[in-house]
């Protein structure tokens, strides 16, 4: 049985615990990763050797790479 926890809100009505950055990065990463898998399947047709060659020439996206690429996109200077 799953216990439902009521949403906590701050004085402005925003949900506490909501992390838009995590949702943004993971959504972008999963989309890019899925596109990589689809392209690999299109090119390699399921053959092991071709899949390894594709992975060697086209590195799979990483979560770390996405986080570093998007680091600092919203800084205080840009917002102001």
pTM for the predicted model, two decimal places: 0.65
CA-nearest of 4, 56, 62, 70 to 29 is 62
**pLDDT tier, 78 (very low <50, low <70, confident <90, very high otherwise):** low
Spell out the alpha helix ranges (H) of the chain. 20-44, 48-57, 63-69, 76-79
Token readout for 16 is: 């506490």
80 within domain boundaries: no
Pairwise pLDDT comparison (4 vs 14), residue with the higher score: 14
58 within domain boundaries: yes
Domain that holds residue 33: 20-71
**Alpha-carbon torsion, ordered 51, 52, 56, 59, to 10 deg:** 50
Q: How many domains does the chain have?
A: 1
2 within domain boundaries: no
Q: In this predicted model, what pLDDT tens digit does every residue of 34-59 receive, in sequence order?
A: 999 999 888 888 788 899 999 999 99
């Amino acid at each position: 049985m799953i216990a439902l926890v009521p949403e906590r809100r701050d004085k402005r009505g925003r949900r506490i615990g909501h992390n838009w950055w995590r949702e943004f990065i993971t959504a972008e990463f999963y989309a890019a990763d899925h596109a990589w898998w689809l392209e690999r399947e299109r090119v390699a047709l399921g053959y092991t050797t071709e899949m390894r060659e594709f992975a060697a020439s086209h590195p799979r996206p990483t979560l770390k790479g996405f986080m570093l690429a998007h680091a600092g996109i919203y800084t205080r200077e840009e917002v102001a």
